[in-house]
Amino acid sequence: AQSVTQPDIHITVSEGASLELRCNYSYGATPYLFWYVQSPGQGLQLLLKYFSGDTLVQGIKGFEAEFKRSQSSFNLRKPSVHWSDAAEYFCAVRGNAGNMLTFGGGTRLMVKP
C-alpha cells in the first residue's frame, strides 16, 4: 500500500524568505503526486500535481514542486513567501485502487513579519 510522510509538522519562515516543504512517498509504480493547501477553517485546495513528464511542475500561487524518483520525494517550494501563505500543506499520492488519495500528516506553515 502507498504511504506519504511529511517529516516537518511545523515550519516557520520570515516573509520574503524561500520555502521548501518536504514530502516522501512510498509506492511501487509511477506515482501520481499532489500538493494541497488548507487555509484555516477551509477545505483543501489543489496547488499542483505530477503525473508524468517534466519533473518540475508549476502550480498556483507561485508554488512549484520537483519529483525525484531516486529519492522518492516530491518537495514543494516557493522562492518568496507571503504572509497569506500561512496555512497547512498536504502532500498526497494516488494509489492503485480507484482514485484513492493517501495523504501525509500535513505541515503547518507560519510566516513571520
Partner 1 sequence: NAGVTQTPKFRVLKTGQSMTLLCAQDMNHEYMYWYRQDPGMGLRLIHYSVGEGTTAKGEVPDGYNVSRLKKQNFLLGLESAAPSQTSVYFCASSYGPDWGYGYTFGSGTRLTVV
**3 state DSSP class of 85:** helix
- Closer of 8 and 15 to partner 1 (Cβ): 8
Residues that bind partner 1 (CB under 8 A): 4, 6, 9, 34, 36, 41-46, 49, 51, 90, 98-106
Q: How far apart are CA 22 and CA 41, in angstroms?
A: 23
Q: Quote the cell numbers at residue 48.
A: 499542483
Q: Say which residues have a Cβ less than 8 Å from residue 87's Cβ, sequence separation at least 6.
A: 37, 38, 39, 40, 108, 109
- Closer of 17 and 110 to partner 1 (Cβ): 110
Minimum CB distance to partner 1, residue 87 (Å): 14
Minimum CB distance to partner 1, residue 71 (Å): 21
Minimum CB distance to partner 1, residue 103 (Å): 4
